[in-house]
Amino acid sequence: MKFAFVFPGQGSQSIGMMHGYTDLPIIQETFQEASDILKQDFWSMVNSGPAEDLNLTLNTQPLMLAAGVAVYRAWISLGGKEPVFLAGHSLGEYTALVASEALSFADALSLVHFRAQVMQQAVPEGIGGMAAILGLDDEAITAICRDITNKGNGESLEPANFNSPGQIVIAGHKNAILQGIELAKSKGAKRAIMLPMSIPSHCSLMKPAAERLQLQLQRVTLQAPNIPILHNTDVKSHSDPATIKEILAQQLIRPVHWVDTIRAFAAAEITHVIECGPGKVLAGLNKRIDQNLQQLSLTDSEAIKQAINDVRAL
């Protein structure tokens, strides 16, 4: 039996999401460490909100990193085995780098805080956005984006997240997205909705942010991962730190290939995929990608302990 860990990114956060782990001291200790480094009370924010603060990307990115690292530390402290592969959905890739000991927690926190800043600054409020399209295949969505971008009015639209078969997120200029939604509906999309995000992630509008992040990454020490990580941009694992830094910068302007990531796990004879962090967003996507893969979610301390026992029994 072989298992992989996956780490969630933005979109999995919610007030009270750490309530189920309060009997594990290492959880709050990890949040305190993050709070000390970034001079913010993340534990209070995640437990009490308000939701507007929790959902602000400058807070969400370091907060979700802290949550994933805390749960992974809890897994290890309780005797959980190391996975054979790691992956993270967008921001979750930084959590995977910490878990693999390629990047220190302190450096990862500073990086994702900087990442959030430059992403927010790259596109003015109201100019860009993202939308989820359900019920159309990859080729249809790609064609819609190409047709709208090729209109020649200077606005772009691109596939941003290949989350599961028939669930794709598009990103770009807001007007282009609205056109994409209407065109997708006319072509038979079951649902096409604007997402509550002002930042058009994983598309060319993030180029200024990617360039600034690349410069910042040069100031950070990064080691070869101890556990292979499948990266969002190319669904490959890399051991060269310079290549990983390039991949992290490119991640901002290239789509998240989550479907291909989970299929690569299956091809590598992974039998169980364990979502390490609060919520079950990735488990839901993974089930739709490959029903033969067993999904476990470490949503609270009891789930962690049960998953450790399940892995030992196999």
Q: What percent of the chain has pLDDT over 90?
A: 91
Q: What is the dihedral of CA 80, 82, 86, 90, to 10 degrees?
A: 50
pLDDT band at 114 (very low <50, low <70, confident <90, very high): very high
Number of H-type helices and E-type strands within the chain:
13, 9
The yes-or-no verdict on residue 1 having pLDDT over 90 is: no
Backbone angles phi, psi at 283, to 5 degrees: -60, -40
Show which residues are catalytic: 90, 202
pLDDT, average across residues 122-135: 94
Between CA 63 and CA 8 the distance in angstroms is 11
Tell me the C-alpha distance between 15 and 13, whole Å.
Answer: 7
**Does residue 195 have a pLDDT over 80?**
yes
Q: Is the pLDDT confidence value at 196 over 90? A: no
- Residues 84 and 5: beta-carbon distance below 8 Å: no
pLDDT tens-place string over residues 44-90: 999 998 998 988 889 999 999 999 999 999 999 999 999 999 999 99
Q: From residue 104, give the alpha-carbon distance in Å to each of 90, 148, 277.
A: 18, 42, 18
CA atoms lying within 13 Å on the CB side of residue 155: 19
